[in-house]
A and B are shown apart, each in its own frame.
Chain A
């Protein structure tokens, strides 16, 4: 589990980008909970965090491709975005990501 932000860091109904080591993620705060995906739309690397978020989907701002935040699957399409589990504990948001933990630092 990696802490990515405080709950108040993301406005309700929006997404924000975060770098976790070498990984670039988008974190979303929706009415149905928190979600995280890879930051770039698999179509043309549009910033998903800037997309319009509904209960559990996001629309890429560049070409309006829509992805389920739960499964990552494109709705009405064949692309897929990588998803990560996001959980809230007290006032902080954590993600479960398979990232190499750097020694030392």
Chain B
């Protein structure tokens, strides 16, 4: 029998979940997913993230592109299906292509509801459904003076409001009914939510029925009129009043419809060979609009469609989490019932309620303190009997994820249960939360379950009580190895490998070991390049095509016409593919071949910018007192001094610095690993800031009077970090791990600070510009391949 041909229409979370579940049960089926949007499936649940920070939709991808290749799931993106012939079992795409199927999965999702009111089509009125909407809303919201209104105070509307306010525009949420998120919340919780949003700059107007959106003479939106006769000015209107199932194609196919596509317990529709799931499907009278049911449905569909099993879908317990930074809110099941117990601290903004129906757990609302929500979800899903609801609610607040049953769902984005996490540790041998997350994908969606995942992995013994090994193969910690290097006077990675067996099996720890050897020996170690990552063997950053990027150092981000000329000449001479100004105030020359590196460095005549290394990369500065009307400190001078002082020394992870000449902080020093801000009467030294995947405001280490003192204190911190951080541990992880108080105690202790500075001085004395290896390579072929081998055969006519 030839393999089954499965067509999935819809490239959303549901289509993806269906593809994964089908592939899990049938390795041979040919699976094709047709995606209406011009991109691979992404996590729409996290849409508001890209509205907040403007990142690309790619960051929300459910799976990397190679997954589809590995799993042999063919994708056709940006394509629309216009017809289904359920007798012939074929579909037709808009471009005329016809595809046949043995099984068809309708995962067409939903479309935003737009109220049929005058003005809904005006420019400046947006739905909130896809990345394109986010981009338009972002652009509109970042214009100065814009007043924004979100129509709809449900989950999505509130997330949209948060995203808009992050662009600096004031937002009003207008909502038809008397409380926010009425489908998930009771009046009390909804009431507590209003001031939380007000603090963020989002005001809420309830019981507002929008009648009309009116425009300026130019045609652009100008405001809303309400049924009660009042009105509200607005330059940007986002509509998020709900969704309706997308049924156009299902109707065309002829399957039975009600509010959605009617499916039975096997997820089959009324027509043979056609299945449906997700927001377009209606099961037992219910159309689910949340993510968790999709995973439940996909599990059943995968089994029944492939014939691998006889699973049945019995409905899902709705559970929703508001993804708004700073507001913890989870709603599970019914928000109201015949017996309710509530624990509330309105001053603290905490509200916890357990709803019981007929003696069984039926729902929960947790606001401000969502501890125990995984356990409550499991109990509500199981309709567990609750004898002492008040006691149970209190218990849930102190329960740890380790107490959960195996079938408790931990990651709602990817439908991962606790049991799967435990088995990844116990059976598959994953050792760390990171390995478990990459294997199960738990925590890789919205990320809100990460703390629970880490706790479960640890309690299952995964890296739990195990120390963080530098060499996982030989089970040796940084501290153990550092002690051994000191005691035995080990000088190189080979010395340590020989003495302790470190780094021989997989080699992954060799760069960490190389750093440790250099650090303990105050940079007077014996360097072995084989232990370094390629970037540190050739002093440039490897790119995805095997070429390298070259970033010369520009102290404090200051350059000159002469340097710029040389950069321009080098870029042309070496056919640089892109010249890019970096976020750290440098110029990046991308796409340089390895063997050209020595020559381009020579032509540039500038020192290495260390943009490839775990080292101090940049100290970003604002123009400061010399030019700026507001500047109170010479930030450029301090930035240049810091870079000269720190240049060339390796660090556990990359270090980015910044110096701002006044508290307006144009150099963004408060989100740098080490940042200095000029304040009235001195300099504030901050450490542990971040503005990458996570954003963390740097802690204020101390405030000093002079530039020299700022340089000294930040150098003491840098050396303390160099000596005590784990490899790859950024300052923003190091500072909270050690604790600001402890770090302060060290830098303020004159003896310890003096010792740190002395070791720093010795290490710095041994540092050199690695780009000088252009003239003194460590090996003749540091930058070059082997010579080509010409194949010369026997003379013509001879045997091959």
Residues of A within 8 A of B (CB): 2-5, 9-14, 16-21, 27, 31, 43-47, 49-55, 57-59, 61-62, 64, 66, 75, 78, 99-105
Contacts and interface: CB of A to CB of B under 8 A. Distances in A.
Chain B facing A: main interface SS:
loop
Contact of B789 (A4, A12, A53): A4
A105 B789 contact: no
B325 interface: no
Among A16, A49, A54, A75, the one with the most B-chain Cβ atoms within 10 Å of its Cβ is A54
Contacts of B70: 78
Given A11-B781, A54-B507, A57-B507, A105 B542 contact: no
A61 B542 contact: yes
A19 B506 contact: no
Contacts of A9: 780-781, 786
B786 A55 contact: no
A53 B534 contact: no
21 contacts: A3-B789, A9-B786, A11-B778, A11-B779, A11-B782, A16-B786, A19-B785, A31-B504, A47-B542, A49-B785, A54-B505, A54-B507, A57-B505, A59-B506, A59-B508, A66-B508, A75-B506, A102-B793, A104-B793, A104-B795, A105-B791
Contacts of A5: 786-787
Contacts of A78: 70
A16 B530 CA distance: 12
A16 B791 contact: no
B469 to A, nearest CB: 16
6 closest A-B pairs by CB: A13-B530, A54-B507, A18-B786, A101-B793, A50-B534, A21-B791
Given A14-B529, A55-B507, 8 more contacts: A11-B529, A11-B782, A18-B789, A19-B789, A50-B537, A59-B506, A61-B542, A103-B798
Contacts of B542: 47, 50, 61-62
Among A4, A18, A19, A103, the one with the most B-chain Cβ atoms within 10 Å of its Cβ is A103
B471 to A, nearest CB: 11
Interface string B514-552: 000000000000001111011001000010101000000
B750 interface: no
B788 interface: yes
B790 A54 contact: no
B494 to A, nearest CB: 8
Interface in B482-516: 503-508, 510-511
A53 B786 contact: no
A105 B511 contact: no
Nearest to A21: B791
B792 interface: yes
Contacts of B348: none
Contacts of A46: 544, 546
A97 to B, nearest CB: 10
A21 B66 CA distance: 30
Contacts of B778: 11
B794 interface: yes
A82 B524 CA distance: 40
Nearest to B528: A13
Interface residues of B, number: 39
Interface of B: 66, 70, 503-508, 510-511, 528-531, 533-534, 537, 542, 544, 546, 778-782, 785-796, 798, 800
B508 A103 contact: no
Contacts of B800: 100-101, 103
Given A11-B779, A102-B791, A104-B793, A53 B504 contact: no
B513 to A, nearest CB: 11
Given A44-B66, A103-B800, A51 B534 contact: yes
Nearest to B65: A44
Contacts of A52: 507-508, 510-511, 530-531, 533-534
Contacts of B790: 21, 105
Contacts of A14: 529-530, 537
B786 A27 contact: yes
Contacts of A12: 530
A17 B788 CA distance: 9
A75 B779 CA distance: 30
B793 A105 contact: yes
Contacts of A102: 791-793
B788 A18 contact: yes
Contacts of B506: 54, 57, 59, 66, 75
Contact of B786 (A17, A43, A57, A58): A17
B789 A2 contact: yes
Nearest to A6: B786
B444 to A, nearest CB: 16
Contacts of B788: 18-20
Nearest to B547: A47
Given A4-B789, A18-B786, A101-B800, A50 B530 contact: no
A61 B785 contact: no
